[in-house]
């Protein structure tokens, strides 16, 4: 096991090979649970297939899927020398965007799977755009199903060109993208360089994953700690709990909670049932602040330094992507916004610009409506006080999901906050 941890998203168009690739990564890194291997080995032997083959496992998975059993590729884990990877929810999974935004499964990096025989497809575009909006740092592009195109270099090059164009359109830094010709099914260039692609001398997929930069904890930023719950504990008093998104909290710090607008000095910080003098990004903490009672603060508040308090928005401007909406969205629409631990009804006060999601350019000023597939810049007015930050300043607190009728209908990032 390695020390460093990475959350990895596997994105790409349906049927381009995401599940197969996850299966392959687990298999090559020895991460398929022993009992699963054992079961498939036994079945394979019984059926005279002899030995345990990756293809046999995947065949079985395919059968399971045909029987309507969902194969959950999320939350699978595997390790390289450098990192322990957790595969986070994939787009298409119902709550992917919501989970990414609320931090439940914020991915650091992503593998984009593009089938060599199909190239850039609609969901390739959508997922790349979402990945960009949601702050994925680096992309590794697996040009998959190379076996289907006879491992032809020219086909690989064509797909690379197509994907590079797409990345430039959404302003992804293409210098940081690596392209690898793979076959998830046959195993080419996953763990070992493949003889079938002797024209390729770059990294295997596992090498590329191992060489990803370490996710840098945002310790230098100002403290932002969204409150998840507030408890009363005898002997201590009021104990808000939550995960530090950015910055550092020390005992003795002067803090405020916004939008509740109360504050005081941090008396104690507790983590894993032990008192600690300070806590950092990623730490789940309970703490106690002098003079704060249970009814003074609530879930959805953000704790920050008194001299650099969390912003409270009168209105804010944001870029959103509409993923699924049965009809059209017009000014005046008031769905529920999920941002960090807050859930607040907000009115889309005006739709300022419609953007072309594939070029990032303005397609229409002041459109009358937007619908599924559209990207837009909108002005939003929270119906109750909401603490939120510009994504350019504190990305961890600068994105949100819009939910209505039990589903995530749009996601966005904050461009500008007009404070109260």
What residue numbers does the annotated binding site for Mg(2+) cover?
A: 19
The residues, ordered by sequence, that sit 6+ positions from 148 with a Cβ below 8 Å of its Cβ are 115, 116, 117
Site string for ligand GDP, 165-184 (x = CB under 6 A): ------------------xx
- 8: which 2 tokens? 């990895």
Tell me the sheet residues that pair with 30.
none
CB of 117 to ligand GDP, least distance (A): 9
The residues, ordered by sequence, that sit 6+ positions from 324 with a Cβ below 8 Å of its Cβ are 372, 407, 408, 409
The binding site for GTP comprises 12-19, 89-93, 144-147
The residues, ordered by sequence, that sit 6+ positions from 386 with a Cβ below 8 Å of its Cβ are 259, 300, 312, 313, 337, 339, 342, 344, 346
Find the binder of ligand GDP among 148, 262, 276, 331 (CB under 6 A): 148
Measured between alpha carbons, how far is 353 from 370 in angstroms, rounded to an integer? 10
| C-alpha separations of 122 from 118, 129, 194, 199 in Å | 11, 11, 29, 29
Q: Kindly tell me which of 95 and 404 has the beta carbon lying closer to ligand GDP.
A: 95
- For 21-51, b/e burial (b = at least 16 CB within 10 A) is bbbbbbbbbeebeeeeeeebbeebeeeeeee
| Residue 194 contacts ligand GDP per CB under 6 A | no
Find the binder of ligand GDP among 5, 15, 164, 262 (CB under 6 A): 15
| Residue 96 contacts ligand GDP per CB under 6 A | no
Measured between alpha carbons, how far is 378 from 354 in angstroms, rounded to an integer? 9
| Residue 18 contacts ligand GDP per CB under 6 A | yes
Q: Kindly tell me which of 18 and 98 has the beta carbon lying closer to ligand GDP.
A: 18
Note whether 142 and 112 are within 8 A (CB).
Answer: yes
Note whether 244 and 283 are within 8 A (CB).
Answer: yes
Q: Kindly tell me which of 19 and 133 has the beta carbon lying closer to ligand GDP.
A: 19
Find the binder of ligand GDP among 1, 3, 14, 81 (CB under 6 A): 14
Find the binder of ligand GDP among 8, 9, 20, 189 (CB under 6 A): 20
Q: Kindly tell me which of 105 and 319 has the beta carbon lying closer to ligand GDP.
A: 105
CB of 19 to ligand GDP, least distance (A): 4
- Among the residue ranges 8-16, 97-105, 198-206, 282-290, the one whose residues contact ligand GDP (CB under 6 A): 8-16
Q: Kindly tell me which of 15 and 153 has the beta carbon lying closer to ligand GDP.
A: 15
Q: Kindly tell me which of 184 and 409 has the beta carbon lying closer to ligand GDP.
A: 184
| C-alpha separations of 273 from 268, 276, 286 in Å | 12, 9, 9
Site string for ligand GDP, 99-138 (x = CB under 6 A): ----------------------------------------
Nearest C-alpha neighbor of 352 from the set 382, 326, 331, 337: 331
Note whether 345 and 379 are within 8 A (CB).
Answer: no
Q: Kindly tell me which of 16 and 413 has the beta carbon lying closer to ligand GDP.
A: 16
Find the binder of ligand GDP among 144, 155, 317, 379 (CB under 6 A): 144
The binding site comprises 12-19, 89-93, 144-147
| Residue 204 contacts ligand GDP per CB under 6 A | no
Sites of contact with ligand GDP (CB under 6 A): 12, 14-20, 144-145, 147-148, 183-185
């Amino acid at each position: 096991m390695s020390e460093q941890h990475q959350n990895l998203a596997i994105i790409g168009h349906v049927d381009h090979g995401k599940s197969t690739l996850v299966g392959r990564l687990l298999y090559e890194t020895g991460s398929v649970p022993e009992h699963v291997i054992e079961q498939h080995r036994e079945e394979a032997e019984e059926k005279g297939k002899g030995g345990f083959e990756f293809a046999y496992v995947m065949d079985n998975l395919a059968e399971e899927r045909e029987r309507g059993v969902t194969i959950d590729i999320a939350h699978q884990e595997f390790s390289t020398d450098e990192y322990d990877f957790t595969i986070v929810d994939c787009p298409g999974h119902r709550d992917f965007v919501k989970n990414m935004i609320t931090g439940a499964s914020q991915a650091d990096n992503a593998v984009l799977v593009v089938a060599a025989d199909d190239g850039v497809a609609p969901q390739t575009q959508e997922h790349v755009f979402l990945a960009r909006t949601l702050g994925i740092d680096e992309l590794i592009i697996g040009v998959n199903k190379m076996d289907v195109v006879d491992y032809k270099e020219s086909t690989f090059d064509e797909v690379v060109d197509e994907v590079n164009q797409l990345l430039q359109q959404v302003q992804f830094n293409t210098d940081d993208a690596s392209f690898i010709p793979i076959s998830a099914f046959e195993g080419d260039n996953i763990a070992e360089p493949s003889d079938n692609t002797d024209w390729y001398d770059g990294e295997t997929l596992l090498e590329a994953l191992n060489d990803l930069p370490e996710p840098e904890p945002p310790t230098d930023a100002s403290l932002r700690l969204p409150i998840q719950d507030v408890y009363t504990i005898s002997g201590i008093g009021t104990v808000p709990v939550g995960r530090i998104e950015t910055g550092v909290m020390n005992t003795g710090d002067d803090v405020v909670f916004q939008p509740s607008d109360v504050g005081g000095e941090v008396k104690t910080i507790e983590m894993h049932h032990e008192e600690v003098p300070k806590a950092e990004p990623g730490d789940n903490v309970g703490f106690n602040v002098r003079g704060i009672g249970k009814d003074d603060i609530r879930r959805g508040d953000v704790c920050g330094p008194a001299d650099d308090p969390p912003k409270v928005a009168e209105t804010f401007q944001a870029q959103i992507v509409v993923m699924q909406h049965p009809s059209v969205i017009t000014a005046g629409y008031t769905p529920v916004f999920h941002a960090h631990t807050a859930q607040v009804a907000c009115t889309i006060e005006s739709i300022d610009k419609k953007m072309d999601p594939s070029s990032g350019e303005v397609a229409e000023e002041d459109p009358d409506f937007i619908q599924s597939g559209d990207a837009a810049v909108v002005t939003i007015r929270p119906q109750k006080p909401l603490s939120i930050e510009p994504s350019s300043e504190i990305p961890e607190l600068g994105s949100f999901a819009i939910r209505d009728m039990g589903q995530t209908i749009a996601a966005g990032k904050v461009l500008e906050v007009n404070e109260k």
